[in-house]
């Protein structure tokens, strides 16, 4: 790749996934393959399935650990609970909710899209109106992204449940918790979530490769009559092998299972509530830094602020993609690009997973302060007609190339 520049030292990941992998997880995965039909792997899996329920805060849910990504987990949630033509109310608030909606449409569901400006949360007033009008219960599911990674927006799931209960509506609640579960407050049982899902490369701080889905008893019951075609993601196959005590309908990733064991042990050691508090501190500190820089948060209201990712709006004279590029080339610092309609307008700071305060404040924030200062100085000099950087090539009519 022409833009690739090797930089000595460790790359510092501050994208909102994949995230830094802690050393105990790396060590746990450093092992040979094993026969997954041997007694050891089912014994490991049995305990994992019980312990992974804790990250969803459920006692009644049934988890599925699937060798896939979040996109596969999406498909698993949809095809196991719904039939083609079923009406889904789905909220479009950013790139990842857009992609999930695209999947819903391609799978043949009748998707009732509720769109908000990017930077705003799901419009729950519209949801209330739809529930009030839907006396025939044609809405079969509500699909919502808990934390929209593209814009740094967190939605209020408790309110979704309150609305459904207020109108005694039986719709299933399907939640993408890819960038929220294990970092933000998530209460599957209390909020009446029917299917929740996450990915191993986010707050679990593992490599990509596991899609973890948890289904409520209501969702399992719905799966018995759902007519969507599914093979690889069919919960029925998993449940069959659960009953047999072998757990796996096909070959799992042995190394990722041991990595998951280590990741869950770390969460248990710190305490999930403490993990959530730590992410609150990291999110708050990052937003305060953005405010001190004189920049705006893409998220338009405090009630939607995310504690796992902050999307920063840059001045119109700056291409945010150049900031991301420069951070990589100069500091080995990986930041998130602006996606789709906000490409070039925002960059994203991920502060989730195995991170502490010094990592965020002393490295990511400090590096960004230096880069933004350089950019502003260059632009100020350019506007004043001064020579900037290379006087032999810089012309008054050109944008300063301080990120070249």
Tell me 31's DSSP state: S
Neighbours of 384 (CB within 10 A): 9
Coil, strand, or helix at residue 176?
strand
**CATH code for the structural domain at 23-268:** 3.40.640.10
Residue linked to tokens 């719709």: 171
Domain ranges of the chain: 12-16+272-382, 23-268
Coil, strand, or helix at residue 103?
helix
Known binding site for substrate: residues?
A: 348
pTM of the model: 0.92
> Using CA atoms, how far apart are residues 216 and 225, in angstroms rounded to an integer?
15
Task: Sheet containing 87-92: give its strands across.
Answer: 62-66, 211-215, 195-199, 172-176, 139-145, 87-92, 110-115
User: Cβ(53)–Cβ(62) under 8 Å?
Assistant: no
Coil, strand, or helix at residue 142?
strand
User: Cβ(176)–Cβ(145) under 8 Å?
Assistant: yes
The residues near 220 (Cβ < 8 Å, ≥ 6 apart) are: 62, 235, 239
N-to-C CA span, the chain:
16
- Kind plus residue range of the DSSP H or E element containing 124: helix 124-133
The 3-class SS string of 222-282 reads HHCCCCCCCCCCCHHHHHHHHHHCCCCCCCCCHHHHHHHHHHHHHHHHHCHHHHHHHHHHH
Q: Helices (H), strands (E): how many in the chain?
A: 13, 14
Q: What is the pLDDT along the chain (404 residues), one digit of tens a residue?
A: 456 667 777 888 999 999 999 999 999 999 999 999 999 999 999 999 999 999 999 999 999 999 999 999 999 999 999 999 999 999 999 999 999 999 999 999 999 999 999 999 999 999 999 999 999 999 999 999 999 999 999 999 999 999 999 999 999 999 999 999 999 999 999 999 999 999 999 999 999 999 999 999 999 999 999 999 999 999 999 999 999 999 999 999 999 999 999 999 999 999 999 999 999 999 999 999 999 999 999 999 999 999 999 999 999 888 999 999 989 988 899 999 999 999 999 999 999 999 999 889 888 998 898 888 877 766 565 445 434 334 444 433 333 232 22
User: Cβ(82)–Cβ(114) under 8 Å?
Assistant: no
> Using CA atoms, how far apart are residues 193 and 69, in angstroms rounded to an integer?
20
Q: Give me the torsion for CA of 129, 135, 140, 145, rounded to 10°.
A: 20
Known binding site: residues?
A: 348
- Domain 12-16+272-382 adopts which CATH fold? 3.90.1150
Give backbone dihedrals phi and psi of 193, rounded to 5 degrees, phi first: -80, 130
Name the token pair of 147: 């934390």
> Using CA atoms, how far apart are residues 328 and 356, in angstroms rounded to an integer?
21
pLDDT, tens digit, 9 for 90 and up, residues 311-365: 999 998 889 999 999 899 888 999 999 999 999 999 999 999 999 998 898 889 9
> Using CA atoms, how far apart are residues 189 and 166, in angstroms rounded to an integer?
17
The CB-based long-range contact list for 375-381 (8 Å cut-off, 24+ gap) reads 375/318, 375/323, 375/402, 375/403, 378/402, 379/317, 379/318
> Using CA atoms, how far apart are residues 131 and 81, in angstroms rounded to an integer?
20
């Amino acid at each position: 790749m022409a833009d690739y520049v090797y930089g000595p030292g460790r790359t510092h990941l501050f994208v909102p996934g994949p995230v830094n992998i802690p050393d105990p997880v790396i060590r746990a995965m450093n092992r040979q393959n094993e026969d997954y039909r041997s007694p050891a792997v089912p014994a490991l899996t049995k305990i994992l399935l019980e312990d992974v329920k804790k990250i969803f805060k459920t006692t009644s849910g049934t988890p599925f650990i699937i060798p896939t990504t979040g996109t596969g987990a999406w498909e698993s949630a949809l095809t196991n609970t719904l039939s083609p033509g079923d009406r889904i109310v789905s909220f479009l608030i950013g790139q990842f909710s857009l992609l999930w909606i695209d999947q819903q449409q391609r799978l043949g569901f009748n998707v009732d899209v509720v769109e908000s400006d990017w930077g705003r949360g799901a419009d729950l007033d519209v949801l209330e109106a739809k529930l009030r009008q839907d006396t025939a219960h044609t809405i079969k599911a509500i699909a919502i992204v808990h934390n929209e990674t593209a814009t740094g927006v967190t939605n209020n799931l408790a309110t979704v449940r309150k609305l459904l209960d207020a109108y005694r509506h039986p719709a299933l609640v399907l939640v993408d918790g890819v960038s929220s579960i294990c970092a933000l407050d998530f209460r599957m049982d209390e909020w009446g979530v029917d299917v929740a899902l996450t990915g191993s490369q986010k707050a679990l701080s593992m490599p990509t490769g596991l899609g973890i889905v948890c289904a409520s008893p209501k969702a399992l019951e719905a799966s018995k009559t759902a007519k969507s075609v599914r093979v690889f993601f069919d919960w029925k196959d998993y449940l069959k092998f659960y009953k047999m005590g072998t757990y796996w309908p096909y070959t799992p990733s042995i190394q990722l299972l041991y990595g998951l064991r280590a990741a869950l042990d770390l969460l248990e050691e710190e305490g999930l509530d403490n993990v959530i508090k730590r992410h609150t501190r990291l999110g708050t500190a990052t937003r305060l830094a953005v405010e001190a820089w004189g920049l705006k948060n893409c998220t338009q209201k405090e009630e939607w602020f995310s504690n796992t990712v902050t999307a920063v709006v840059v001045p119109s004279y700056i291409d945010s993609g150049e900031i991301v590029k420069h951070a990589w080339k100069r500091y080995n610092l990986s930041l998130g690009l602006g996606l789709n309609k906000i490409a070039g307008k925002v960059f994203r700071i991920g502060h989730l997973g195995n991170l502490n305060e010094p990592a965020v404040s002393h490295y990511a924030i400090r590096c960004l302060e230096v880069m933004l200062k350089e950019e502003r100085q260059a632009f100020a000099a350019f506007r004043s007609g001064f020579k900037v950087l290379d006087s032999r090539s810089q012309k008054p009519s050109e944008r300063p190339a301080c990120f070249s």
